[in-house]
């Protein structure tokens, strides 16, 4: 914690969560009415779309890791997107028990329309920062995420044994 007052507003994880929710909410509001997508649904589509056509398939477990979302939230988003025909489930040739998820043609078309909206929102958010401030922000966020993931691995491993 950055201060000893115990105030939630000064607690870094809270600040990051609130900032993330504010940014996600802003972007979501810009595409929700037009495309009927919630934040979790768009994150799943964005990850699949970012992989590129032909390569854009991933298991649901992989999506959970890539989006850093709860597996229940990913499962719900996948179900909605499948029901809408925006993603398709295909057998995984490497593992007969799992399936790969990929954007359909309609899903790729929506992805192609939403990305410019998301990028424009990003530009709007960063407008007040100098180029070096933006670069520093991106480096700091990457460092925090890497450290959190490192700590999560250590937590999962449990205490060291003699």
pLDDT, tens digit, 9 for 90 and up, residues 101-160: 999 999 999 999 998 988 999 999 999 999 999 999 999 999 999 999 899 887 776 655
Q: Are 34 and 44 in contact (CB under 8 A)?
A: no
The pLDDT-based confidence of 5 (bands split at 50, 70, 90) is: low
| Cα–Cα distance for residue pair 79/47, rounded to 1 Å | 16
Tokens of 116: 């410019």
Confidence (pTM): 0.78
Predicted local confidence at residue 2, as pLDDT: 47
């Amino acid at each position: 914690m950055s201060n000893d007052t115990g105030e939630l507003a000064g607690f870094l994880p809270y600040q990051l969560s609130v900032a993330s929710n504010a940014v996600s909410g802003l972007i979501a509001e810009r595409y929700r009415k037009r495309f009927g997508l919630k934040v979790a649904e768009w994150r799943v589509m964005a990850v699949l779309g970012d992989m590129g056509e032909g390569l854009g398939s991933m298991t649901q477990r992989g999506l959970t890791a890539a989006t850093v979302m709860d597996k229940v939230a990913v499962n719900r988003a996948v179900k909605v997107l499948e029901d809408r025909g925006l993603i398709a489930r295909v057998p995984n040739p490497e593992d007969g028990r799992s399936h790969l998820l990929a954007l359909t043609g309609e899903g790729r078309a929506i992805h192609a329309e939403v990305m410019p909206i998301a990028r424009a929102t990003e530009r709007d958010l960063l407008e007040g920062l100098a180029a070096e401030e933006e670069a520093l922000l991106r480096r700091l966020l990457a460092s925090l995420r890497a450290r959190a993931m490192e700590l999560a691995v250590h937590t999962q491993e449990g205490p060291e044994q003699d």
